[in-house]
Structure 1
Amino acid sequence: MRSYATDSPEWQKVTLRIGIISVAIDYVIHWFFQTRNVQIPWWVDAPGVLGIAGGLYEVFEKWLWTIPLLRSIGIVKVPNLNGEWKLQGWTKWSRGQDYQGEAVIKQTWTRISICIETEQSSSKSITASLLVNEDEGITLIYVYRNDPKANVPTTMHSHRGTAVLRLKDDCLEGEYYSGRDRQNFGTLILRRKGDAR
């Protein structure tokens, strides 16, 4: 997984809140030991504010950001795209015929990877942006590397491309285009398989 860019200001706001909560927790720990006349040795300064903040950040990064309540009260705006998706695509070379595949999206609060597997090739995201303040709705934009499988025509070769997908309910829809040597473009629809969030 790689870090992704977003236009949501939540990363700064949540990080600031984690810092404030960490100071409060450290103060409570200090107060607890002081009221019980427990003398902590100088070499036991852990966890300290930074240790608490790091722990809270990791917990938020992996689990807390997925809690629907945090999304409903506006603390988290980035959608949870984690899970397996059924893919249907069309390309300019397919002459009206669609192709099928599977997509797996792995996501934490600040990192994401998009992997797609079809009969002819597999692709993996290189970089991504998740825009939540677009007029058209939540938009996932990513650059990918596509590698053909051994049994496909020799005219297919490894290439890079870009996909722009918009989230509508539990469906990602949009377009993709590949590098100048492939001169290919098409559309993709990804439908979530069950609720893996």
Structure 2
Amino acid sequence: MITPQEHEYSVMGGANRAKVGRLLSFAASAISGALVFMLLAAVDLAKEFGWNANVPPTLMSLLGAGAVFGFLYWLLNKWAWKWPGISFVLNVPDISGNWDCVGKTLDSEGPTKYDWQAEVTIVQSWDRLRIRLSTQTSGSSSISAALAHDSVDGFVLLYHYRNDPKVGAVGLASHTGCSVMTIAKDLQSASGDYFNGRGRMSFGTMNWTKRN
């Protein structure tokens, strides 16, 4: 089995990532040019004072546009996308963290077949995401996901997952499924539905509460 890991996700209603990449390229070029100019000006000034100043090639490469772009992208992807001003422009909600889940599996007539509880862990950066749901008997990890803005309710999280039973779980089989969760505007609660396919034909509801 492939080890689950963070995957790319789409944001419907958010900033276009290609456009953001182009803006980062322009910013990297400008910053790189400014840094090189200041470095060379400092070297010229040092020579006027009679100091023997040389610029190592390694330092020049660190100030190149490619290196600056890599640093800016790393900063944006890791932290800056959550900063208030930048997050407003990117329009990407931060749903990372731990959530308590209360679920209900329903039968075809509507009544509850059984209740269950789980812990949901969401790992998120600007361009990657992973949703891990763990119960006493099984665990699921997202395979693909999308976030959409809902002008009334907040945000909608759609994700496709693979579920595998834990060792010793009887009567359970690996399966895939999908879930649609509506996340409140304050990002502290969510509710929605899940649907399982081949391997466990079941469906139900989930309610998540963010841990503080």
Calculate the TM-score normalised by the size of structure 1. 0.87
CA distance in 1, matches of 2:189, 2:94: 12
Structure 1 residues not aligned, in runs of 5+? none
Q: Which amino acid aligns with 2:173?
A: H
For 1:121, which of 135, 138, 141 is the aligned residue?
138
Structure 2 residues not aligned, in runs of 5+? 1-5, 45-52
Contact 2:103 2:205 (C-alpha < 8 Å) held by counterparts: yes
For 2:81, which of 65, 90, 97 is the aligned residue?
65
**Match of residue 17 from structure 1:** 23
Runs of 4+ more than 4 Å apart: 41-44, 133-136
Contact 1:159 1:182 (C-alpha < 8 Å) held by counterparts: yes
- Is 1:178 paired with 2:193? no
- Say which is worse superposed, 92-101 or 141-150, in terms of deviation: 92-101
Change (3 A) 1:184 1:42: same
CA distance in 1, matches of 2:68, 2:182: 37
CA distance in 1, matches of 2:92, 2:148: 8
For 2:157, which of 140, 148, 152 is the aligned residue?
140
- Structure 1 residue 133: Cα displacement: 5.8
Calculate the TM-score normalised by the size of structure 2. 0.81
**Match of residue 54 from structure 1:** 70
Let me know the Cα RMSD of the aligned residues.
Answer: 2.2
- Structure 1 residue 17: Cα displacement: 2.5
Contact 2:148 2:155 (C-alpha < 8 Å) held by counterparts: yes
For 1:40, which of 36, 52, 55 is the aligned residue?
55
For 1:29, which of 9, 27, 35 is the aligned residue?
35
Q: Give the paired residue count.
A: 191
Greater radius of gyration (CA): 2
CA distance in 2, matches of 1:97, 1:159: 19
- Structure 1 residue 127: Cα displacement: 1.2
Contact 1:145 1:159 (C-alpha < 8 Å) held by counterparts: yes
- Structure 1 residue 29: Cα displacement: 1.3
CA distance in 1, matches of 2:162, 2:58: 50
CA distance in 2, matches of 1:123, 1:42: 49
